[in-house]
Amino acid sequence: MSIFPARRAPDNLPRPVHWASAAVCKQPDVDPDTFFPVPTDPLAVEEAKSYCRRCPVQMRCRTDALNRGEEHGVWGGLDEDELRAVRKLRRAAAAKQAAAEKQAAENLDALAKAG
Ligand code: SF4
């Protein structure tokens, strides 16, 4: 036994509840495999989406999946093709934004040099 006191935080501190704890797919009667259907099986994909449609954390789940770059499964009510399409749109929007910001910076430089 150490002569030093244990250096642990008390275990009775309040902790934030993770959003995923409210997820429909975390309920004990829901098979997690449901959310990884064969992409070419529309009925299985639709079954997974039907759970997501009544999930209270659907948008949070979708955002997290998109940010993580999830490539497999149904997340936030979107299947693999839909997740891929949204990521493509996001990349295009980010590229457009970057180009606009670059153009604005160049315009400011030109104004500064002229004036
Ligand atoms: S939206 Fe996300 S968290 Fe909710 S059931 Fe679907 S996969 Fe699970």
51: Cα separation from own chain's centroid: 17
Q: Would you say the CB of residue 61 lies under 6 angstroms from ligand 1?
A: yes
Site to probe by mutation for ligand 1, drawn from 31, 35, 50, 58 as the one with most ligand atoms within 8 Å of Cβ, is: 58
What is the Cα–Cα distance from 38 to 69, expressed in whole angstroms?
19
Task: Give tens-digit pLDDT for 59-86.
Answer: 999 999 999 999 999 999 999 999 999 9
Residue of 114, 107, 21 lying closest to 60 (CA atoms):
21
Residue 72 C-beta-side C-alpha neighbours within 13 Å:
5
**Per-domain residue ranges for the chain?**
19-110
Residue 16's pLDDT band (cuts 50, 70, 90): confident
What is the DSSP secondary structure assignment for residue 78, as one 8-state letter?
Answer: B
29 by DSSP, 3-state: which? coil
pLDDT of 1 reads 59
Residue 94's pLDDT band (cuts 50, 70, 90): very high
Residue of 46, 74, 75, 72 lying closest to 59 (CA atoms):
75
User: By the 8 A CB rule, do 87 and 69 touch?
Assistant: yes
CA of 91 to the centre of ligand 1 (A): 24
Task: Give tens-digit pLDDT for 23-66.
Answer: 999 999 999 999 999 999 999 999 999 999 999 999 999 999 99
Q: Would you say the CB of residue 52 lies under 6 angstroms from ligand 1?
A: yes
What is the Cα–Cα distance from 27 to 35, expressed in whole angstroms?
13
